[in-house]
């Protein structure tokens, strides 16, 4: 993709807030507070999409109450459980004018299989094109990228069978996201993902941590832990194409960045950056 095409695709887009899961909900709630601020604060119109969870009203209601406490009284819970509902025009209308869209955790395949290509999916993208912030935690984070991880073995030696991948919602291109990263020891499966797709960057996000991605593809880490970026563009050798499912992976010349709050990443230049924590 040329730089001009990339700039055209980014123009007018909103921002992403990609959360590694288990964000603080009882203390300062800094990540959720950041989402509310990005969505417009008291003037925000937030839509909580609880499709990924099997308890949508309970989980969605918890976030609805939290957002109200954080200064966003207008938050609508959408418990879309099937494609018939996802294609209803009244559901799409609610989403289209949202200033903030929040995907809860659960099963990322429920999100993509129920919403993908639906009227609600189109409305989410329309809101994003108008500048809405899209946030997702856990499974809601995994769906952000074009190619998403849907399962795999966290603690095994990296191999071809370490993970299962599928098409995500594609809000973040040239990257693949993994969540609960350090807490569940998921570096091996992210390395396997990068070995299979060296042109994309692996983004591993710890719990109570988030990566903010702006329309310019400049990123900022917020939260208490770290974001791990794995860049496989300059891989010198990998045996991934020669392996059976259980043989160990060989991969060399991988670039690794570990970034806490106060740092960010330029996805265009593939370089870490230090940022002003007051902004």
Burial annotation 3-16 (CB, 10 A radius, 16+ → b, else e): eeeeeeeeeebbbb
Cβ pair 24, 34 in contact under 8 A: no
Which of helix, strand or coil describes residue 215? Answer: coil
Distances (CA, A) of 238 to 36, 167, 187, 232: 43, 23, 16, 10
* Closest alpha carbon to 144 in 224, 64, 78, 203: 203
* Closest alpha carbon to 138 in 166, 97, 106: 106
248: Cβ–Cβ under 8 A, 6 or more apart, which residues?
A: 157, 158, 159
Which residues are catalytically annotated? 138, 180, 207
The DSSP secondary-structure symbol of 84 reads H
DSSP 221-246: EEESSEEEEEE-TT--EE-GGG--SS
CA distance 168 to 111: 9
């Amino acid at each position: 993709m040329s730089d001009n095409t990339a700039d055209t695709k980014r123009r007018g887009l909103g921002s992403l807030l990609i959360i590694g899961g288990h964000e603080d909900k009882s203390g300062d709630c800094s990540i959720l507070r950041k989402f509310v601020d990005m969505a417009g604060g008291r003037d925000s119109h937030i839509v909580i999409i609880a499709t990924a969870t099997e308890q949508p009203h309970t989980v969605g209601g918890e976030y609805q109450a939290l957002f109200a406490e954080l200064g966003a009284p207008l938050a609508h819970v959408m418990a879309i459980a099937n494609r018939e509902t996802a294609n209803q025009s009244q559901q799409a209308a609610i989403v289209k004018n949202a200033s903030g869209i929040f995907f809860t955790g659960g099963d990322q395949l429920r999100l993509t299989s129920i919403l993908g290509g639906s009227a609600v999916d189109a409305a989410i993208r329309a809101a994003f094109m108008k500048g809405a912030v899209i946030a997702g935690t856990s499974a809601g984070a995994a769906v952000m990228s074009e190619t998403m991880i849907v399962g795999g073995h966290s603690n095994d030696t990296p191999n071809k069978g370490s993970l299962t991948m599928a098409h995500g919602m594609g809000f973040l291109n040239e990257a693949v996201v993994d969540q609960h990263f350090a807490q569940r020891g998921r570096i091996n499966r992210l390395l396997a993902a990068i070995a299979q797709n060296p042109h994309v960057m692996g983004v591993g996000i710890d719990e109570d941590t988030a990566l903010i991605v702006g329309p310019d593809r400049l990123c900022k880490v917020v939260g208490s832990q770290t974001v791990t970026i794995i860049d496989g563009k300059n891989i010198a050798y990998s045996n991934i194409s020669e392996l059976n499912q259980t043989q160990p992976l060989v991969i060399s010349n991988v670039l690794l960045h570990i970034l806490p709050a106060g740092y960010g990443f330029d996805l265009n230049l593939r370089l870490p950056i230090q940022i002003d924590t007051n902004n």
